[in-house]
Amino acid sequence: MITVHHLENSRSQRILWLLEELGLDYKIVEYKRDPETASGPESLKAIHPLGKAPVITDGELTVAESGAIIEYLLDRYDTEKRLKPTEGQALLDFRYWLHFAEGSLMPLLVMKLVMMKVPTNPMPFFIKPIAKMITDKVQEKFIIPRIEPQMRFIEETLGKHTWFVGDELSAADIQMSFPLQASSTRMDLVNFPNISRFLKQIEAVPSYQKALSKGGVFTTL
């Protein structure tokens, strides 16, 4: 039996979605975030030394990191090769988006979130304007100029076909769901209609809805 160590409001939600899409039986061990730090609890370190989610166990095997978990589940359980192209450019594109999600887009979105939160943290009143000026400048000069080309590239890709690797759902879409959901809370998507369409599209997928009902209320941080 596969066990998903599921941290609320986290990347582990998309692992539940993949398991539902594969039609696999699994159980969830749920963890709550610290209300002050938003970090996972110390008990997660009993499963993996870094104490982060997602982590799955499958028999005696333990797998961490979203991309690694997705590859493991596909290699072992997607016997019909339904959620991963098998050859050619489609396979290369699949691998690209599978790694792009966490390797390129999410680090910038995390930095943007930190810059957005700094001025709202408790601090002496006379420091707040300075903190906001500094964080706004970091966003303007460093973060936004790097995020926007990536978002335009994603927008262009989703303008060519229904999903990231063609007209059928793949695990690359599942992997890309989290950073794009996060982007919708950190920037205006009015100029990215294809990304907005993608986000509405994934919410209509039955396996996504089923995973959401099991994983609990989901909002990206």
Contacts of 149 (CB under 8 A, 6+ apart): none
Give me the chain's average pLDDT, please: 92
Both 95 and 135 in one domain: the answer is yes
- Mean pLDDT, range 154-169, rounded to an integer: 97
User: Residue 55 class from Cβ within 10 Å (0-12 exposed, 13-18 middle, 19+ buried)?
Assistant: buried
So what's the pLDDT on residue 18? Answer: 98
So what's the pLDDT on residue 218? Answer: 67
Both 119 and 157 in one domain: the answer is yes
- Total domains in the fold of the chain: 2
Domain range for 12 is: 2-83+209-215
Please give the model's pTM, rounded to 2 decimal places. 0.92
Contacts of 145 (CB under 8 A, 6+ apart): none
Both 128 and 64 in one domain: the answer is no
Both 133 and 64 in one domain: the answer is no
So what's the pLDDT on residue 82? Answer: 95
pLDDT tens digits, 48-81? 898 889 999 999 999 999 999 999 999 999 999 9
Residue 201 counted as domain residue: yes
Question: What is the side-by-side order of every strand in the sheet holding 26-31?
Answer: 26-31, 2-7, 55-58, 61-64
The DSSP code sequence of 150-204 is HHHHHHHHHHHSSBTTBSS--HHHHHHHHHHHHHHHHS--TT-HHHHHHHHHHHT
